[in-house]
Structure 1
Amino acid sequence: MSDLRQSVMLFPFHKQLADGTLSPGDMLREFHEAGVTGLEPSVFRRSETPSWWGDLVSGAKDLGMEFACCVISCNLVGESEADRQAALDWVAQGVEISASLGCPTVLVAGSRPAPGMSNEEGRKVLAGALAKAAERAQGSGVTVTIEDFGVYPEFTCSSEHVLEVVQAAAHPNLKVTFDNGNFLFADDTPVQAFPRLKELIRHVHIKDFAPGEPGSGRRWVGTAIGSGQAMVRESLALVKGMEYKGWVSLEVSIAPPLPEAVQAAKVVRDLWAEV
């Protein structure tokens, strides 16, 4: 039986950390008391490192918390070879930062086709760039991943398209972050996606969605983890059943994020024990 290792994605906390309404120390203590032992931060360019970053890193060390995954935001497709090279250089820097934190995984997110480029061509370009990124990360102790990215549902959001990209890249240091919720934006489900991606899963995100209000223009809206239609229980059962040893990272979408993360940690822990 695999033990649950919970982490929290930190981007929902950036605003409060930046404006001082939440300190890194208080946030980390709440996480730790809730049984969360891992963190999934976004990495920042050295010139853009926020003032709270040092306290986050030192506070995590003091509590014995680990960095589960680091998110590197960039567009590896871009509009030119120069764009792609700049993005690859940033990914390499992000991998270096992650390695310095002892973080074993990065998630590269944010790629999209250039104007006038088809999704099919964009996926080919992305695969080529990811192969280069994975090769540059080889030997660093850091594995590169992509997820089912919900911002561009027709690009790399369905399990079919994610698999297409990873197979085309054909690099052993490129794997998948399995995000249970984002599949919904591509008319896919985590239960349908899991068998297709199972052998590639390196990292897991758990979130939840409910249908948007009619006329709102929003197909899915974030909701408390365990209360929506993103098949949280079913996803956890599948992940646990594969004897998964990695991190399950909570992605909360309700403000304020701290009490939601604490509650989500309990919900996921209880579900993990049940499935």
Structure 2
Amino acid sequence: MKLGISSYSLYQALEAGEMDILEIMEWVAGIGAEHIEIVPYGFTFENLELEDQIREKAASLGIAISNYAIGANFVTSSEEEYEAEIELVKAEVDRAHRLGVKLMRHDVAARTDTSIARFNEDLGRVAAACQRIADHAKQYGITTSLENHGYYVQASDRVQSVVHAVNRPNFKTTLDVGNFVCVDENPITAVKNNIPYASMVHVKDFYIRPASRNPGEGWFRSAGGSYLRGAIAGQGDLDLYEILRIVKSSGYDGYISIEYEGMEECRKGTKIAFDNVARIWNEV
């Protein structure tokens, strides 16, 4: 297991202008992380020079760039938009290659109508787009993936449906152990279901409160109405001991990223989460 940090965890500092992505990489290496996952959220690639700087900074710090993660949506209103979205993601695959990564996550679909009927209607078109992108990524030895988030393709069976429909050895899932609660799925069961398909693992935690008890500011609702708030990993309501035991016992030995989304100051929350996950992994 190689434990590291998603740059998304430090989004607060990026957005506030307190750190840039290169300074975040230095901070990540400074806490003992083995890798950083690059998520262009809070910063943008305005030129190719930043790609070179990130790649060279990682090499100088002795950390890996584990994964490159972007958004995408292949549910479009026209064929032209569909083709444009595929070409956009393929261009981002090229960027992943220039960054030197072998793993890349892209989103696949989002709708306000998240019904299973609508999902089944969209599945073939979404899978076809993912096939074309995975085939493009194959030339670089890159494995692409979808993450379980965004409500529409979040439950473990829907993620598996896309993976099986794409049917490419270099298309898997970025498995976020916490996100399943957003669609009210038991994360222990869901992680057990999907760990065989994981190319990458995200660890996060949530506080969970019943739909009848509004906790106030800072919370959002699950698909079924429960209240959720991001927590420091190891301090929330998820059973991370059992979840990480499942991941470890599966034989998974790849990258694990801390993805912190709590209300505490981002550097403090991310560091505590990192230390907690490292400790729990050694205990399970």
In structure 1, the residue matched to 2:259 is 251
**1:265 counterpart = 2:267:** no
CA RMSD, 1 decimal: 2.7
The alignment partner of 2:181 has SS state of: helix
CA deviations on 1:165-193 (whole Å, 9 max, x unpaired) are: 11112222210111111111122123212
In structure 2, the residue matched to 1:221 is 229
The 8 Å contact of residues 8 and 260 in structure 2, kept in 1 or not, is answered as: no
The alignment partner of 1:203 has SS state of: strand
CA spacing shift, 1:115–1:196, aligned 2, 3 Å = closer
Partner Cα distance (1:19, 1:57) in 2: 24
Identify the range of structure 1 (264-273 vs 193-202) with the bigger mean alpha-carbon deviation: 193-202
1:121 Cα deviation (Å)? Answer: 1.2
In structure 2, the residue matched to 1:120 is 120
1:28 Cα deviation (Å)? Answer: 2.8
In structure 2, the residue matched to 1:184 is 181
The alignment partner of 2:36 has SS state of: strand
Structure 2 counterpart of 1:79, from 77, 80, 88: 77
CA spacing shift, 1:50–1:23, aligned 2, 3 Å = farther
* Structure 2 counterpart of 1:196, one-letter code: N
In structure 1, the residue matched to 2:224 is none
1:56 Cα deviation (Å)? Answer: 4.2
Partner Cα distance (2:20, 2:166) in 1: 41
- Gaps (5+ residues) in structure 2? 222-226
The residue correspondences of 1:50-65 to structure 2 (distance < 5 A) are: 56-65=54-63
1:232 Cα deviation (Å)? Answer: 1.8
In structure 1, the residue matched to 2:245 is 237
TM-score by length of 1: 0.87
CA spacing shift, 1:24–1:145, aligned 2, 3 Å = closer
In structure 2, the residue matched to 1:108 is 106
State percent identity of aligned pairs.
Answer: 24
CA spacing shift, 1:110–1:210, aligned 2, 3 Å = farther
Identify the range of structure 1 (109-118 vs 54-63) with the bigger mean alpha-carbon deviation: 109-118
Equivalenced residue count is 269
CA spacing shift, 1:18–1:46, aligned 2, 3 Å = closer
CA spacing shift, 1:147–1:22, aligned 2, 3 Å = same
Structure 2 counterpart of 1:20, from 17, 20, 23: 17
1:212 Cα deviation (Å)? Answer: 4.7
The 8 Å contact of residues 78 and 113 in structure 1, kept in 2 or not, is answered as: no
TM-score by length of 2: 0.84
